[in-house]
Amino acid sequence: MFSQSVKTATETEAQTLTLADARPGETYRIISISPWDGREQLLRMGLVEGSEVYCITAFGHGPVAVRSGRTNIAIGWGLARQIMVKKVEKMASGVGRPVGVGEGRWFDGFAQRNRHRFGRRDR
């Protein structure tokens, strides 16, 4: 569906979906979460820019359920639409966020989030 390599900011933008568009069986990386009320709760539950989630199920125009680390979380449609994600082509492991997530990965996500923002400004 999408090209595998990430090269430019515009290309990243093109690949950006919201979690509401996620398809079961695919893995996504979170690029940004809109700064509103749900954000803090997501952060507490382990979803943050840079983390990877595996989509367990998605109801069209309804909730999605994702696996992050070892927790499964159901997220309503409205909230899922606030979460910008990018498809990850190869699943890292059986679980969503790989056990070895560290600082580097987190910064990865952070950088991407900003890139995505610049991308939006370019338009």
Partner 1 sequence: MVLPKETATVSAAETGKKSTSAAVPAGVAPASATKSTTSPPTITSAPGSTRLIALAGNPNCGKSALFNRLTGLYVNVSNFPGTTVDISKGSWLGAELIDTPGVYGVGSYSDEERIARDSLLQADVVINVVNATTLERDLFLTLQLLDMGVPMVIALNMMDEAEHLGIKLDIPMLAHLTGVPVVPIVAIAGRGIDELTKAVASPKIGISDAQAIKAVQEERRRLAAEAQETGRIADPGRIADPGRISQGMLLLLAEGDEEIAQRLGVPPGEHRELIYTQRRRRADRLAAKVIKGGGEQKLGQILGEWTARPIVGIPVLLLVLWGLYWFIGVVVAQIVVEYTEGILFTEYYEPFVRQLMATFLSAENFVYKLLAGEFGLLTMTVTYLFGLLLPLVAGFYLVLSIMEDSGYLPRVALLTDKILNRLGLNGRAVIPMILGLGCVTMATFTTRVLASKRERTIALALLGIAIPCSAQLGVIAVLVTPLGLAAVAFYVAIILLIYGLIGVTLNRMLPGRSSDLLLDLPPLRLPQPANILKKTASRVSAFLAEAAPIFAVGVLLVAVLQETGILEAIQRAVGPLTAGWLQLPPESAQAFVMGLVRRDFGAAGLYSLAMTAHQKLVASITITLFVPCIASMLVLFKERGVRDALAIFLGSIFVAIGTGGLVSRLIYLIGWNLP
Which helix (DSSP H) or strand (DSSP E) does residue 28 occupy? strand 27-33
Query: What would the DSSP string read from start to end of 63-90?
Result: -EEEEETTEEEEE-HHHHTTEEEEEESS
Window 3-42: residues binding partner 1 (CB under 8 A): 24, 35, 37-38, 40-42
Build a one-symbol-per-residue string for 37-76: x at contacts with partner 1 by CB under 8 A, - elsewhere: xx-xxxxxxx-x--x----xx-x-xxx-x-xxxxxxxxxx
Q: Which is nearer to partner 1, 8 or 71 (CB)?
A: 71
Instruction: State whether the Cα torsion 19-8-112-117 is positive or negative.
Output: negative
Window 77-116: residues binding partner 1 (CB under 8 A): 77-80, 94-95, 97, 99-103, 106
